[in-house]
């Protein structure tokens, strides 16, 4: 099967031909280059109208036989650009009398990595201009395990570079400047597997305005943003029990980000695949490859039903073209367990948790995070227990060694024993600690332990004290994302969890949860 793919979600007017018998991919791309500032949707769409015919012609001339299907990027992306590409794809499919396939751009980033790596069921980190998220496969769909709560990774960097007067795209310029800079401390915001770049952008701009050399700010920007992305990737691996990671998106071309991800994977014993550079940025090759998989599975679309969707979420796509996922490792107790940020040993009813140094992070940043999280976990575990929520009893704390000793609780993680009664207990527990001004920070199904009738909250390392409704709602958001990433039928569990929280907590928190969901990059 030969598939013509057309990509045009934002800046790249691209066409490709993929032959699934030879696994050859020919790609022709004409990028949009704004004269100043960032991407202007109207100008980008004009570029698409001018460039798409020529890149398609070039791609077709490289085909070694007839085209069997036309695939196009249906979304997410800039509406004016998507409409140009959709129109071109429909016209080509009709003129060639072949099938039409509408592809989710973000799923294509994941699938090209899975296809090229040969991995069975990897976690995927996508980092592009407008987007940043972590995806995992569960029960026939790709689930958003974590995502930016404000702006995409590339757009965040571009905001800083526009502030200092650099032209688009800013990523390569920051990467070059950072090579000559000294690390400066900037805000680090990770909430479960979600993250935020707005604070770090404001701080970076202010540091530059205050006279900090732009090379130093660029170094701090890279070290902080990419450490956040690497950490949430490791958290996703830990949550899902997977040991394979692929990356996608234009920002993933950054050598420092690749280095961090590689160090994390090596330290964890996981496998990392970084696709060829031509498959990292927006490109039609990934559209054509996924289009061939979908066409073979019968996932074609009639012309009249082929409208674009600028907010097309990856978890809206039924994944029918791939086999079921292999089982994840179970939650059986062992003497040593490696979590996302710590090594845990169990002996004589006690758990020793040591936050190991993360070599991918800058040493100063790593030392600060391990120290602060150890102190907060000790305080919040004690205070939550005093409020009436089951938590481990704290036995010892060594801040210098970033080590805690607590009693062993539960028979297994909630991830491995999820059920309605259990998630209702979590809703009640979160409502209780929120009433005391405590935010857990990372209430995933791996940070809840269960045995018999009891449900325990553990690992308050990302927690803090706050009575802000937004912070409490983020706890709910993190837990629900983890349910969707680890439970076969998550929606009834989500409803039960929210019902229990509503009975014990504040309605304002649930209202704010809806607002947070609306801010997601793919909502």
Classified by CATH at the fold level, domain 2-110+281-309 comes out as Nucleotidyltransferase; domain 5 (3.30.420)
Q: Is 459 annotated as a binding residue?
A: no
Task: Supply the pLDDT for residue 343.
Answer: 92
Task: Supply the pLDDT for residue 523.
Answer: 37
Distance between CA 346 and CA 405 in Å, rounded?
A: 10
Domain extents in the chain: 2-110+281-309, 114-278, 336-519
Q: Reply yes or no on whether the pLDDT at 200 is more than 90.
A: yes
* Structure token pair of residue 380: 């919040």
Whether a cis peptide bond, with omega within 30° of 0, leads into 247 is no
Q: Is 181 annotated as a binding residue?
A: no
> Is there a contact between 328 and 241 (Cβ–Cβ < 8 Å)?
yes
| Longest CA pairwise span in the chain (Å) | 73
Q: Helix-strand-coil percent breakdown of the chain, rounded to 5? A: 45, 20, 35
Q: Is 234 annotated as a binding residue?
A: no
- Tell me: the pLDDT tens digits for 132-154? 999 999 888 999 999 999 988 98
> Is there a contact between 81 and 7 (Cβ–Cβ < 8 Å)?
no
Task: Supply the pLDDT for residue 281.
Answer: 87
Task: Supply the pLDDT for residue 403.
Answer: 97
Q: What is the pTM of this model?
A: 0.92
Domain 336-519: CATH class, spelled out: mainly alpha
Q: Is 249 annotated as a binding residue?
A: no
Task: Supply the pLDDT for residue 130.
Answer: 81
* Two domains, one topology: 2-110+281-309 and 336-519: no
Q: Reply yes or no on whether the pLDDT at 70 is more than 90.
A: yes
Q: Is 109 annotated as a binding residue?
A: yes
Give φ, ψ of 307 to 5 degrees.
-65, 155
Task: Supply the pLDDT for residue 370.
Answer: 97
Q: Is 130 annotated as a binding residue?
A: yes
Q: Is 254 annotated as a binding residue?
A: yes
Task: Supply the pLDDT for residue 328.
Answer: 59
Q: Is 128 annotated as a binding residue?
A: yes
> Is there a contact between 185 and 364 (Cβ–Cβ < 8 Å)?
yes
Q: Does domain 114-278 have CATH number 1.20.960.40?
A: no
Q: Which residues are catalytic?
A: 442
Q: Is 126 annotated as a binding residue?
A: yes
Q: Which residue has the higher pLDDT, 11 or 314?
A: 314
Query: 444: buried, middle or exposed (CB in 10 Å: 19+, 13-18, 0-12)?
Result: buried
Q: Reply yes or no on whether the pLDDT at 393 is more than 90.
A: yes
């Amino acid at each position: 099967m030969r598939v013509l793919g057309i990509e045009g979600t934002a800046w790249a007017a691209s066409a490709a031909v993929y032959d699934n018998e030879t696994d050859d991919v020919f790609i022709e791309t004409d990028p949009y280059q704004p004269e100043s500032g960032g991407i202007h949707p109207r100008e980008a769409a004009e570029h698409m109208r001018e460039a798409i015919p020529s890149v398609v012609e070039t791609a077709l001339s490289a085909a070694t036989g007839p085209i069997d299907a036309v695939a196009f990027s249906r979304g997410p992306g800039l509406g004016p650009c998507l409409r140009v590409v959709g129109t071109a794809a429909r016209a080509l499919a009709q003129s060639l009398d072949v099938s039409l396939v509408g592809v989710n751009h973000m799923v294509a980033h994941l699938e090209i990595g899975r296809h090229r790596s040969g991995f069975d069921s990897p976690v995927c980190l996508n980092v592009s201009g407008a987007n940043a998220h972590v995806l995992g496969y569960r029960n026939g769909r790709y689930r958003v395990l974590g995502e930016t709560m404000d702006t995409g990774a590339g757009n965040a960097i571009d905001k800083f570079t526009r502030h200092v007067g650099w032209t688009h795209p800013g990523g390569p310029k920051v990467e070059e400047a950072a090579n000559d800079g000294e690390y400066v401390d900037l805000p680090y915001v990770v909430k479960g597997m979600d993250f935020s770049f707005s604070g770090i952008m404001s701080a970076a701009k202010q540091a530059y305005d205050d006279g900090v050399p732009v090379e130093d700010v660029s170094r701090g920007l890279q070290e902080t943003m990419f450490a956040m992305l690497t950490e949430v990737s490791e958290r996703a691996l830990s949550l899902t029990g997977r040991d394979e990671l692929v990356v996608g998106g234009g920002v993933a071309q950054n050598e420092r980000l690749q280095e961090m991800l590689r160090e994390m994977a090596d330290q964890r014993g996981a496998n990392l695949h970084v696709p060829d550079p031509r498959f990292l940025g927006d490109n039609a090759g990934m559209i054509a490859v996924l289009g061939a998989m979908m066409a073979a599975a019968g996932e074609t679309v009639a012309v009249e039903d082929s409208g674009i969707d600028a907010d097309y979420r990856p978890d809206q796509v039924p994944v029918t073209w791939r086999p079921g996922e292999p089982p994840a490792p179970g939650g059986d107790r062992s003497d040593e367990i490696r979590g996302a940020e710590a090594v845990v040993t169990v002996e004589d009813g006690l758990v020793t948790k040591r936050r190991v140094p993360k070599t991918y992070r800058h040493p100063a940043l790593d030392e600060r995070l391990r120290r602060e999280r150890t102190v907060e976990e000790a305080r919040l575990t004690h205070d939550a227990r005093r409020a009436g929520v089951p938590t481990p009893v704290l036995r010892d704390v060594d801040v210098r060694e970033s080590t805690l000793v607590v009693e062993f609780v539960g028979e297994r993680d909630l991830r491995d024993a999820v059920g309605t009664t259990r998630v209702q207990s979590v809703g009640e527990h979160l409502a209780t600690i929120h009433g005391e001004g405590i935010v857990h920070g990372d209430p995933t199904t791996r940070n809840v332990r269960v045995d018999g009738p009891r449900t325990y909250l553990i690992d308050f390392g990302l927690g803090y004290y706050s009575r802000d409704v937004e912070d409490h709602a983020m706890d709910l958001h993190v837990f629900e994302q983890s349910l969707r990433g680890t439970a076969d039928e998550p929606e009834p569990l989500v409803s039960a969890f929210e019902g229990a929280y509503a009975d014990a907590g504040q309605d304002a928190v649930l209202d704010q949860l809806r607002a947070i969901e609306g801010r997601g990059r793919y909502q």
